[in-house]
Structure 1
Amino acid sequence: MAVPYGALSPLRGWSGKMVGMIERPLLLVDVDGVLNPLGRPTPDFRKYECHVEGQTYTVFLNSRHGTRLLSLAVETGSELVWATTWEHWANEWIAPRLSLPQLPVIKLPPNVRGQFGEMFKTPAIAEYVGRRPFVWFDDQVWAADEDYLRAHPGVGDFLLVQVDPRVGLTQTEFGYAREWLRRLP
């Protein structure tokens, strides 16, 4: 499915490398700007103080996100995975507050933009996913990330869902992911 988009489109997709699906698709989830909005949160978000390696972070989380992510994973036969700089701390501080189980974590390199303009996470994502189809919820995925993934040998079908960091993950983004995942063979 080719998806038209503009520079600030919330949806980026590519599906030119369809391969036989042996493993379940992946749902990659970022935290800051996706589950923890950077703008003024709505009343359905709750404030938490998280203590990580001597630092205190304030996050705003909506417990419905956990329910919706789990429902999406079950409905589409997908596996949830953390793709966040919180890394293993997401399982300690974020997952319990969203009633999520412990999830696999993608180990990320230092925050340095890639040589082709891709986000620092993108090469690690490409290595982790292999040929498995995946949806990636992030507030910082752009055309350079899509181009990198498209050109990276061994990466299968994917959908990049750009989340507005001011409001975080909404039903609209869940809908994009659900529709795309339902179209997989």
Structure 2
Amino acid sequence: MKPLLLLDVDGVLNPMGRPTIDYRRYRCTIGTEVYTVHLNPRHGRRLLDLALSTGSELVWATTWEHHANEWIAPRIGLPALPVITMGPGRPRSEHGEMFKTPHVAAYAGRRPFVWFDDQVWAEDEEYLRVSQGLRDFLLVHVDPRHGLTREHLGMAHEWLTLTGFSQGP
């Protein structure tokens, strides 16, 4: 089974702090809402390289859901990706985990995964390990002020290759 690389948008690809010169500003309209996002076009190539070198599959794990394929992917050079749908409303937390965590667990099943998100904490890890019985995952907490860095990608690459989940060349 191919490992998964799960991607959040806000706080990960769209940092909340002052973006560096590597980022470009975009205005995205979804329904009647207009959002300003800052995206680094290099992220797409770096994520594709990580997926290729580890034999992993990129998947959106974001409240943007399918809108990420319309608004985010083309601006950073990613193809359309599978999407973990979060469903209507936000389920109540059982053990302090983030509302996305049960959806991620259901989608991943027994596949190993790396999850890049700015809101994953110890409660999410505990929920996945204890409540869901999952063992083969790495939660990469991204500082929302700075967004995704080479260090985060390096952590994922190292974990996938050292644990033997990498199916890359």
Asked if Structure 1 and Structure 2 have the same fold, meaning a TM-score greater than 0.5 normalized by the shorter chain, the answer is yes
1:1-185 alignment runs, 5 A limit: 23-109=1-87, 110-153=89-132, 155-185=134-164
Structure 2 Cα separation of the partners of residues 96 and 30 of structure 1: 15
Contact 1:25–1:77 (Cα < 8 Å) also in 2: yes
Q: How far does residue 152 in structure 1 lie from its aligned partner after superposition?
A: 3.2
Structure 2-normalised TM-score? 0.93
The secondary structure found in structure 1 opposite 2:34 is strand
Structure 1-normalised TM-score? 0.85
Q: How far does residue 135 in structure 1 lie from its aligned partner after superposition?
A: 0.1
Structure 1 Cα separation of the partners of residues 133 and 86 of structure 2: 19
Give CA deviations for 1:3-33 in whole Å, capped at 9, x if unaligned: xxxxxxxxxxxxxxxxxxxx10000000000
Amino acid of the structure 2 residue aligned with 1:147: E
Amino acid of the structure 2 residue aligned with 1:84: T
Amino acid of the structure 2 residue aligned with 1:138: D
Aligned to 1:16: none
The secondary structure found in structure 2 opposite 1:137 is strand
Amino acid of the structure 2 residue aligned with 1:169: L
The secondary structure found in structure 1 opposite 2:50 is helix
Q: Which runs of 5+ in 1 are unaligned?
A: 1-22
Q: Which runs of 5+ in 2 are unaligned?
A: 165-169
Aligned length: 163
Q: How far does residue 44 in structure 1 lie from its aligned partner after superposition?
A: 0.6
Give me the identity figure in percent. 66
Amino acid of the structure 2 residue aligned with 1:77: G
Structure 2 Cα separation of the partners of residues 155 and 107 of structure 1: 20
Amino acid of the structure 2 residue aligned with 1:132: R
Q: How far does residue 153 in structure 1 lie from its aligned partner after superposition?
A: 3.6
